[in-house]
């Protein structure tokens, strides 16, 4: 990273420059890359103290379609900052956009970004790389000050750690209209994620129009009520639903394509199909009628493997292939319960296949995805399935997405399958981010920002199989998420952590540094109308001897200390810059009227009486983090 001050001084001494030249060289003084607030942190950054102030009218050179696409985003970005862009084809603009870098190191997604006192050069081998150069360029501006158009000079070369940097949105459990989906894609692209995994069908709603089967949306897209508060006995009895028309889907795909995001649609088979069964009960391996589920529990009726079902699936996936240009199509395959498999034992079509092939009901589970994977393969597409599907029977090109078993990643990769990691204990953003008491109602399990950030997907595979890892994906299941406001609260800032672990080299990933950089991003999120959560600060305790033990308890936002001496120093770190920390020492809930943290706190505590320190971080708009808690107990000497 990193020309040093020392090096600048050596250059000065060695060259004996004139005063003007000295000033110019001094201005090449470097500053820490973290001060730029970039997320994901680029691979190689040199940042300078000097700034380039953009003029009010600027020429941008763009010569081909991809350069023009990126140029239009640039024009749109600069307009509200009072800067008018004119295009020049000569390569002589103050901002030069180039997709002809011819640099093999950058690959398909990498880029170079150089800002000097004369202008900016964004270059890549592809339009995608150039788009990522633009995302970094845009992040150099202060989002809270549209009149401040002086950006730090930088020299950046950057390319991603993983090819698959995905984010899933479940639009079945709750339906999100087109503008929300676009807003979801926009923020993903801003952080250089490149896959939008669109969960379109489930037990609680079918969300995509299939012209040959109109009842899928006429019946399957609507339910008579919705389970509230994750309590199946609490149903609101309001008709609820919605679906996307062909035209809307094409609009979303085009919106994503312009931002180099691939939309990977998922139709979940052979379980999670109740909405389809409600529309066409003959698809089922048991007798109907069926109703689109109002509660979140898993369905116990799978598809029947009849000729009529497979004709239906051919039409549905044929339509999907027409609508979505993605090379990857997701077939689901998760959570076919033991009880659902039992239904196959009594279904004539299933029973016949099992008898002829001497199969157990479990083997029918992969029969559906295997058949449809071959269907997709014949059309030049690759199937993706959840890790619940036994991989041994799947065609080799099928990709396995692992959500609930880290050992399966390894096993499936060994079988020759490419894998994507969507580990539920790290990358499920519908889970609470800390103590469920202090957050909007969400799935009860906990995935903290720190846990997401500290996750290394590559660690699930031995070095010899890492080439099988396509990348990582975050998931936002929407059982408990009914509004866009709540959706973005669950997503952010964890999506930034996902972006960084998927893009930035492992050795450059540092949680405290990341948290510092998020400050700039919250300004961007606020300026662009995104809700988000302010992460908790971290407690640290230094006892006066070395025998204290510390245990983190994310479910209660707590750090538990067992100390052998009755005094120590409490430090609070990882607060987002710009927030102020307030604390209490008596266990009561802190607010902006409590003591303001200004440095380490000396504490004393007595035997048999745990001391409870709590703190919150509050930003300039008054938005507060949830409280973090430190419990210190005096333990007797061993
Ligand atoms: C899943 O969470 N059932 C993939």
Whether residues 200 and 236 fall in one domain: yes
Instruction: Indicate whether 545 pLDDT > 70.
Output: no
Is residue 27 very low, low, confident or very high in pLDDT (cuts 50, 70, 90)? low
- Give CA–CA dist 447/445, Å, rounded: 7
pLDDT tens per residue across span 395-451: 999 999 999 987 888 888 999 999 999 999 999 999 998 888 888 877 878 889 999
pLDDT tens per residue across span 112-138: 999 999 999 999 999 999 999 999 999
Q: What is the average per-residue pLDDT within 460-488?
A: 97
Whether residues 110 and 178 fall in one domain: no
Q: Kindly state if the Cβ of 109 falls inside 6 Å of ligand 1.
A: no
pLDDT tens per residue across span 215-245: 999 999 999 999 998 899 999 999 999 999 9
Q: What is the average per-residue pLDDT within 192-214?
A: 98
Instruction: Indicate whether 18 pLDDT > 80.
Output: no
Give bridge partners of residue 198 from the DSSP assignment: 169, 265
Whether residues 554 and 463 fall in one domain: no
Q: What is the CA radius of gyration of the chain?
A: 27
User: From the CA of 311, how far away is ligand 1's center (Å)?
Assistant: 26
Whether residues 123 and 181 fall in one domain: no
Q: Kindly state if the Cβ of 386 falls inside 6 Å of ligand 1.
A: yes
Q: What is the average per-residue pLDDT within 521-548?
A: 88
Q: Which of 103, 133, 158 is the last residue of a domain?
A: 158
Q: Is residue 2 situated within a structural domain?
A: no
Q: Is residue 7 situated within a structural domain?
A: no
Q: What is the average per-residue pLDDT within 520-535?
A: 96
Give bridge partners of residue 542 from the DSSP assignment: 569
pLDDT-wise least confident of 181-185, 281-285, 351-355, 542-546? 542-546
Q: Which of 492, 527, 562 is the last residue of a domain?
A: 527
395: burial class by Cβ within 10 Å (0-12, 13-18, 19+)?
middle
- Give CA–CA dist 120/96, Å, rounded: 6
Q: Is residue 423 situated within a structural domain?
A: yes
Whether residues 394 and 289 fall in one domain: yes
Whether residues 433 and 560 fall in one domain: no
pLDDT tens per residue across span 311-323: 999 999 999 999 9
Residue to substitute in 340, 384, 386 for testing ligand 1 pocket (most ligand atoms within 8 angstroms of CB): 386
CA dihedral (398, 399, 401, 406) positive or negative = positive
Structural domains in the chain (count): 3
State residue 90's pLDDT score: 74
Q: Is residue 23 situated within a structural domain?
A: yes
Q: What is the average per-residue pLDDT within 577-581?
A: 95
Whether residues 351 and 475 fall in one domain: yes
CATH of the domain at 119: 3.30.379.10
Mean pLDDT of the chain: 93
For Cα atoms 9, 13, 17, give the angle at the middle one, nearest 5 degrees: 105
User: From the CA of 403, how far away is ligand 1's center (Å)?
Assistant: 6
State residue 6's pLDDT score: 37
Closest-CA residue, ligand 1 atom 3, reads 334
Percent with pLDDT over 70 in the chain: 94
Instruction: Indicate whether 608 pLDDT > 90.
Output: no
Q: Is residue 6 situated within a structural domain?
A: no
Helix and strand element counts for the chain (H, E): 18, 33
Looking at the CA of residue 477, tell me the nearest atom of ligand 1: 2
State residue 605's pLDDT score: 87
User: From the CA of 334, how far away is ligand 1's center (Å)?
Assistant: 6
Q: Which of 527, 560, 592 is the last residue of a domain?
A: 527
Whether residues 100 and 195 fall in one domain: no
Closest-CA residue, ligand 1 atom 2, reads 403
Q: Kindly state if the Cβ of 337 falls inside 6 Å of ligand 1.
A: no
For Cα atoms 520, 525, 527, give the angle at the middle one, nearest 5 degrees: 95
Q: Is residue 10 situated within a structural domain?
A: no
628: left (phi over 0), alpha (psi -120 to 50) or beta: beta
Max Cα–Cα distance, the chain, nearest Å? 91
Instruction: Indicate whether 20 pLDDT > 80.
Output: no
Whether residues 522 and 562 fall in one domain: no
Q: What is the average per-residue pLDDT within 507-511?
A: 97
pLDDT-wise least confident of 27-41, 141-155, 162-176, 534-548? 534-548
Q: What is the average per-residue pLDDT within 302-328?
A: 98
Q: Is residue 13 situated within a structural domain?
A: no
Phi, psi of 207 (to 5 degrees): -115, 10
- Give CA–CA dist 419/253, Å, rounded: 24
Whether residues 91 and 210 fall in one domain: no
Whether residues 153 and 196 fall in one domain: no
CATH of the domain at 588: 2.60.40
Q: Residue 406 sits in which domain range? A: 164-527
State residue 24's pLDDT score: 53
Q: Is residue 444 situated within a structural domain?
A: yes
Whether residues 153 and 230 fall in one domain: no
CB atoms within 10 A of CB 460: 21
Q: Kindly state if the Cβ of 429 falls inside 6 Å of ligand 1.
A: no
State residue 26's pLDDT score: 52
CATH of the domain at 328: 3.20.20.80
State residue 544's pLDDT score: 58
Structural element, H or E, at residue 266: strand 262-266
């Amino acid at each position: 990273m990193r020309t040093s001050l020392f090096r600048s001084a050596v250059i000065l001494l060695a060259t004996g420059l004139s005063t003007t030249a000295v000033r110019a060289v001094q201005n090449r003084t470097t500053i820490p890359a973290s001060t730029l607030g970039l997320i994901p942190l680029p691979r190689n950054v040199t940042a300078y103290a000097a700034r380039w102030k953009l003029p009010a009218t600027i020429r941008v050179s763009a010569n081909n379609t991809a350069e023009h696409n990126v140029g239009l985003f640039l024009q749109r970005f600069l307009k509200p900052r009072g800067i008018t862009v004119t295009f020049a084809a000569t390569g002589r603009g103050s901002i030069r956009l180039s997709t002809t870098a011819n640099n093999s190191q950058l690959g398909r997604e990498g880029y170079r970004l150089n800002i000097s006192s004369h202008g900016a050069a964004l270059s890549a081998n592809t339009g995608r790389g150039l788009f990522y150069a633009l995302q970094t360029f845009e992040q150099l501006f202060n989002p809270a000050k549209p009149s401040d158009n002086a950006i730090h000079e930088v020299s950046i070369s950057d390319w991603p750690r993983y090819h698959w940097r995905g984010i899933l949105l479940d639009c079945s459990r709750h339906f999100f209209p087109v503008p929300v989906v676009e807003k979801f894609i926009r923020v993903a692209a801003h952080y250089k994620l490149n896959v939008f995994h669109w969960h379109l069908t489930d037990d609680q709603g079918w969300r995509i129009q299939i012209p040959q089967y109109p009842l899928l949306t006429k019946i399957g897209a609507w339910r008579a009520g919705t389970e509230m508060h994750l309590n199946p006995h609490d149903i609101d009895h309001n008709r609820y639903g919605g679906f996307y028309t062909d035209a809307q889907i094409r609009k979303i795909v085009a919106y994503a394509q312009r931002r180099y995001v691939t939309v990977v649609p998922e139709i979940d088979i052979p379980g999670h199909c109740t909405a389809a069964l409600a529309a066409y009960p003959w698809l089922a391996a048991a007798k109907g009628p069926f109703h689109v589920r109002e509660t979140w529990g898993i369905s116990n009726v799978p598809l029947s493997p009849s000729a009529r079902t497979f004709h239906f699936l051919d039409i549905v996936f044929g339509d999907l292939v027409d609508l979505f240009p993605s090379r990857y199509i997701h077939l689901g395959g998760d959570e076919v319960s033991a009880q659902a498999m039992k239904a196959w034992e009594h279904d004539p079509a299933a029973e016949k296949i099992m008898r002829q092939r001497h199969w157990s009901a479990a083997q029918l589970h992969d029969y559906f995805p295997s058949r449809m994977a071959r269907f997709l393969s014949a059309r030049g597409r690759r199937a993706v399935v959840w890790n619940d599907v036994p991989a041994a029977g799947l065609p080799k090109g099928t990709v396995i997405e692992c959500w609930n078993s880290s050992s399966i990643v390894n096993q499936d990769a060994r079988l020759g399958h490419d894998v994507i990691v969507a580990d539920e204990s790290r990358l499920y953003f519908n889970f609470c981010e800390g103590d469920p008491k202090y957050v909007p109602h969400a799935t009860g399990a906990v995935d903290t920002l720190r846990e997401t950030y500290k996750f290394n997907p590559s660690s699930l595979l031995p070095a010899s199989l890492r080439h099988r890892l396509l990348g990582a994906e975050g998931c936002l299941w929407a059982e408990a998420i009914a509004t866009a406001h709540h959706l973005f609260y669950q997503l952010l800032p964890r999506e930034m952590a996902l972006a960084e672990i998927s893009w930035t080299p492992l050795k450059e990933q540092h949680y405290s540094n990341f948290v510092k950089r998020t400050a700039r991003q919250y300004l961007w999120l606020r300026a662009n109308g995104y809700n988000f959560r302010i992460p908790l600060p971290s407690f640290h305790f230094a006892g006066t001897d070395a025998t204290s033990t510390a245990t983190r308890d994310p479910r209660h936002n707590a750090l538990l200390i067992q100390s052998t001496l009755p005094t120590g120093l409490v430090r609070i770190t990882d607060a987002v810059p710009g927030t102020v920390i307030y604390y209490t020492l008596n266990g009561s809930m802190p607010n902006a009227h409590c003591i303001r943290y200004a440095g380490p706190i000396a504490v004393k505590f007595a035997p048999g009486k745990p001391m409870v320190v709590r703190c919150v971080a509050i930003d300039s708009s008054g938005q507060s983090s949830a409280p973090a808690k430190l419990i210190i107990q005096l333990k007797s000497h061993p």
